């Protein structure tokens, strides 16, 4: 099931969100298998946490 919710981020949240998005692709490219999947899950959880700290 997919739920889409649009939220307005504070300036601090937007900075944290962008920093996480910017740093993760290089780590994912350098990983394979279960480690890669773990990094993607960590990214999704981190982004969700940032968005939920309103």
The rounded distance, in Å, linking the Cα atoms of 14 and 19 is 8
At residue 27, what are phi and psi to the nearest 5 degrees? -65, -40
* Cα 26 to the center of its chain, rounded Å: 13
Q: Enumerate the domain spans of the chain.
A: 11-51
The rounded distance, in Å, linking the Cα atoms of 37 and 54 is 28
Work out the pLDDT band at 2, boundaries 50, 70, 90. confident
- For residue range 10-35, list pLDDT tens digits in order: 999 999 999 999 998 888 999 999 99
Q: Is the whole-model pTM more than 0.85?
A: no
Structure tokens at 17: 């969100």
């Amino acid at each position: 099931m997919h739920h889409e919710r649009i939220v307005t981020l504070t300036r601090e949240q937007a900075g944290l969100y962008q920093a996480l998005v910017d740093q993760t692709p290089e780590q994912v490219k350098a990983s394979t298998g279960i480690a890669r999947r773990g990094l993607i899950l960590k990214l999704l959880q981190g982004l969700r946490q940032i968005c939920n700290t309103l």
